[in-house]
């Protein structure tokens, strides 16, 4: 080997070693470039919007103007559940937290009035009890968020089984969750986390965890629970890796198998935001009756209840560069599973 050839080999090996070190350390500029490329691929070929039995009941600006500012009293949320059930919703999933007692409940309002007869309090309605009675026996899924305080962990309403090694350490870890009102937690058919981007520094939602973990128990997300309740399924089946713990490869729920990242995340393949995905809450609660169009949109659909109101600060950014309500991404996750259109990244990439 000549000196020039030897220099070429050394230079090539040095370049490969340097690139290997850069990829292993995964510096921020490389991550940003990779994420920008991912976004550009989606913008070149976004998922096509297809008419599916998935809807968002939107507590939008028009609904707030008609029925008053947020938060709404929970007897109104009960009325919303009753109406959606009457219209034939397959599932009603709330991308809303019900952590505190309803301060608008008549019992709560009167409690601090000086000189009030305590016996009267027991005769006044309690909105949390009204809401709890409304959801009892209905296909209602309630949401909760991540908390850094307390030690509350939500009830898991489904069984979780796995093949291979244990995947319990795969998803994002949580210390605690925002508590649900006890009577609501007891009467809900499903309970799921509403976190879309936990632990991520970017505002763009590219992946969403199907589960969270505390290191001992897996907690399913809102979209997963909505699909489970809609199918009447009782158990999640998670495929772990045969060669090591803390890895997920897929999640089976009812008739659907969902490919996931090793951390149990779904790569979101989003479609452009479309008005057809939404039904205004004011149209569901219309005092003069529901229109045929609203009835057709709700009947047989998996319904997510949330808000597009900018003042309620649940606006997210998609890979397409659109600002959308967070609740719409839960709906898009279900759309993606129903359509069977997934994004994949081969191991060799």
Q: Cβ of 218: how many Cβ atoms within 10 Å?
A: 23
Asked if 7 and 108 sit in the same domain, the reply is: no
Q: How far is residue 227 CA from its own chain's centroid?
A: 12
pLDDT at res. 97: 95
For residue 252, give the 3-state DSSP assignment.
Answer: strand
Where helices occur in 45-123 by DSSP H, the ranges are 61-67, 74-86, 106-111, 118-121
Q: What is the pTM of this model?
A: 0.89
Residue 347 lies in a domain: no
Asked if 290 and 231 sit in the same domain, the reply is: yes
Q: Compute mean pLDDT per 10 residues along the chain, 349 residues long, and list them.
A: 68 67 58 77 90 96 94 96 98 95 76 64 82 98 93 94 94 94 97 90 89 96 98 96 91 96 94 96 94 97 94 89 96 97 71
Q: First vs last Cα of the chain: how many Å apart?
A: 34
Residue 236 lies in a domain: yes
Asked if 36 and 75 sit in the same domain, the reply is: no
Task: With beta carbons less than 8 A apart as the criterion, state whether 199 and 146 touch.
Answer: no
Buried (b) or exposed (e) across 184-209, using 16+ Cβ within 10 A? bbebbbbbbbbbbbeeeeeebbbbbb
Tokens, residue 131: 């809401």
- Domain hosting 279: range is 51-339
Asked if 6 and 112 sit in the same domain, the reply is: no
Asked if 175 and 268 sit in the same domain, the reply is: yes
Task: With beta carbons less than 8 A apart as the criterion, state whether 76 and 300 touch.
Answer: no
Q: Cβ of 285: how many Cβ atoms within 10 Å?
A: 18
β partners of residue 161: 237
The Cα 60–Cα 188 span in angstroms is 25
For residue 257, give the 3-state DSSP assignment.
Answer: strand
Task: With beta carbons less than 8 A apart as the criterion, state whether 35 and 201 touch.
Answer: no
Residue 250 lies in a domain: yes
Residue 186 lies in a domain: yes
Residue 303 lies in a domain: yes
How many structural domains comprise the chain? 2
Asked if 34 and 108 sit in the same domain, the reply is: no
Asked if 15 and 146 sit in the same domain, the reply is: no
Asked if 155 and 265 sit in the same domain, the reply is: yes
Asked if 220 and 268 sit in the same domain, the reply is: yes
For residue 45, give the 3-state DSSP assignment.
Answer: coil
Residue 266 lies in a domain: yes
Residue 69 lies in a domain: yes
CA distances from 164 to 237, 242, 248 (A): 11, 5, 9
Asked if 27 and 175 sit in the same domain, the reply is: no
Asked if 87 and 105 sit in the same domain, the reply is: yes
DSSP 8-class letter at 221: B
Residue 245 lies in a domain: yes
pLDDT at res. 20: 64
Asked if 22 and 95 sit in the same domain, the reply is: no
The Cα 283–Cα 66 span in angstroms is 10
């Amino acid at each position: 080997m000549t000196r020039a050839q030897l220099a070429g080999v050394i230079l090539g090996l040095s370049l490969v070693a340097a690139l290997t070190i850069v990829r292993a350390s995964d510096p921020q500029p490389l991550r940003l470039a990779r994420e920008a490329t991912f976004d550009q691929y989606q913008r070149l070929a976004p998922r096509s919007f297809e008419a599916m039995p998935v809807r968002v009941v939107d507590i939008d600006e028009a609904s707030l103007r008609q029925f008053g500012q947020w938060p709404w009293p929970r007897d109104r949320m009960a009325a919303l559940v009753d109406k959606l059930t009457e219209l034939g919703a397959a599932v009603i999933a709330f991308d809303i937290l019900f952590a505190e007692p309803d301060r608008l409940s008549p019992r709560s309002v009167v409690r601090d009035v000086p000189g009030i007869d305590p016996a009267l309090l027991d005769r006044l309605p309690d909105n949390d009890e009204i809401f709890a009675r409304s959801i009892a026996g209905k296909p209602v899924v309630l949401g909760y968020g991540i908390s850094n305080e307390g030690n509350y962990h939500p009830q898991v309403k489904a069984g979780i089984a796995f093949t291979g090694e244990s995947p319990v350490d795969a998803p994002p870890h949580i210390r605690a969750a925002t508590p649900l009102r006890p009577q609501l937690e007891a009467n809900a058919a499903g309970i799921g986390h509403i976190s879309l981007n936990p632990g991520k520094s970017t505002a763009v939602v590219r992946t969403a965890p199907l589960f969270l973990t505390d290191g001992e128990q897996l907690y399913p997300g809102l979209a997963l629970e909505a699909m489970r309740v809609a199918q009447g399924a009782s158990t999640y089946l998670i495929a772990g890796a045969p060669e090591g713990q803390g890895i997920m490869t897929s999640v089976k729920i009812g008739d659907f198998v969902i490919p996931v990242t090793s951390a149990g995340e779904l790569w979101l393949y989003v479609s452009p935001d479309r008005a057809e995905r939404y039904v205004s809450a004011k149209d569901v609660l219309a005092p003069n009756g529901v229109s045929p169009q609203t009835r057709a949109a709700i009947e047989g659909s998996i319904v997510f209840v949330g808000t597009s109101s900018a003042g309620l600060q649940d606006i997210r950014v998609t890979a397409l560069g659109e600002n959308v309500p967070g609740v719409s991404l839960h709906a898009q996750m279900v759309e993606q599973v129903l359509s069977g259109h997934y994004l994949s990244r081969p191991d060799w990439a």
